[in-house]
Amino acid sequence: MQRRKRSGIAAVLAVAALPLLAPSVLAGPGTSATVRFGHDDVGSSFPPITDHDQSGNGKFNLIPRTVTVEVGGSVTYDIFVRFGFHQPMVYDVGTTPEDISGGFPFINDTGGLIATGPRVSGSPGTATWTTPPGTFDAPGRYLILCNFAPHFAEFGMYGWVNVN
């Protein structure tokens, strides 16, 4: 009798939890995503170049590093920078970080480049940029990186947009 009662309670709880679980299990990629481009709220208040606490490893990244959208979708980048510059650049399907080369202080590698966001410096320090229509018009994996060479080359400030 106790076993049947416990089984019944478990079944009721599972059915009750289904609406909570279904969106995360069943939801596919949407037509848009948002990525935080830079994370100045971590580490010390000192410029990362001082090596005070290796803040650059936490500050110069994309959160999340990978997003998924449908063909024709867009990604909005909330750009935050306290020191230096950030500039999102979107490269075509098949481009990898190893394919990127360029100068200093900006990479400016145009091979496979399909969209460029604003260059944001520590003043004013924030901006929002949404990829233009047509950026993600074919399925595949697109490379997104920070055009400021030290952020990309030294701290790996890049990420991916998967398009289904």
Summarised one tens digit per residue, pLDDT across range 62-121 is 999 999 999 999 999 999 887 778 999 999 999 999 999 988 999 999 999 999 999 998
Type of residue numbered 150: P
Summarised one tens digit per residue, pLDDT across range 12-39 is 334 344 333 333 333 446 799 999 988 7
Give the span between the Cα atoms of 128 and 130, in whole angstroms. Answer: 7
Q: Name 159's bridge partners.
A: 144
At residue 118, the pLDDT reads 95
Residue 107 contacts residue 157 (beta carbons within 8 Å): no
Residue 128: both structure tokens together: 């929002």
The CATH code of domain 28-163 reads: 2.60.40.420
Half-sphere exposure of 123 (CA within 13 A, CB side): 0
Give the span between the Cα atoms of 20 and 157, in whole angstroms. Answer: 34
Half-sphere exposure of 86 (CA within 13 A, CB side): 32
Residue 97: both structure tokens together: 């970080």
Residue 154: both structure tokens together: 């030294």
Closest CA to 150 of 10, 68, 48, 78: 48
Q: For the whole model, what pTM was predicted?
A: 0.75
Domain range annotation of the chain: 28-163
